[in-house]
Amino acid sequence: MKFKLGKSLKNDYVFLLSLNFFIIGLGFLIFFSIGPQSHRLINLEKILKDGIKNFNLADSIILIIFGIMMIVSLICFIKRSLYLKSFTANCQNIIAKVVDINYIKDRCGVDVAFMFEGELCKKHFAIMNNSQTKYIHMDSEVELIIKDENPKKSLIKELYFDNE
């Protein structure tokens, strides 16, 4: 079983959202600092030429807001990536049945139920609604991968991994 970054980005809502926030923050930061002169809120040329003494409060606030947004989203992206990659070892496969599914534009919430060690377990997944996830519908069966014998740590296998 091999983790696929592209497949995960296409299917995992949280993973894609964290990457999008980073890219949006970076885009705004670039636009406000080196974009058209009329839109520049941060005048990097003046700061570099005259030094930090011309760095005003508005510049600081914009840098702080977009800097924090980018840092938090990058940390979320890295943590989610490491979490998803951790499913490649010490995991077991189990079949689950889709018991509820809710569509909201380009994403969907999928609730599955499965038996694990004699107990009925339920899990909710936030995934993207795309061509790879169209096979997931009410009463369909999906293969879950469970980590560390903990049913709360599970993923829909086909959305994140390829068989080697």
For each of the chain's 164 residues, which pLDDT tens digit applies? 788 888 888 888 889 999 999 999 888 877 776 656 555 555 656 666 666 555 566 667 777 888 899 999 999 999 999 988 888 888 888 999 999 988 888 888 899 999 988 899 999 998 888 887 788 888 889 999 998 888 889 998 888 888 76
pLDDT for res 45: 63
pLDDT for res 114: 92
pLDDT for res 77: 94
84 contacts 155 by C-beta, under 8 angstroms: yes
44 contacts 37 by C-beta, under 8 angstroms: no
pLDDT for res 102: 87
Pairing of strands 141-147, 2-3: unpaired
d(CA 164, CA 159): 15
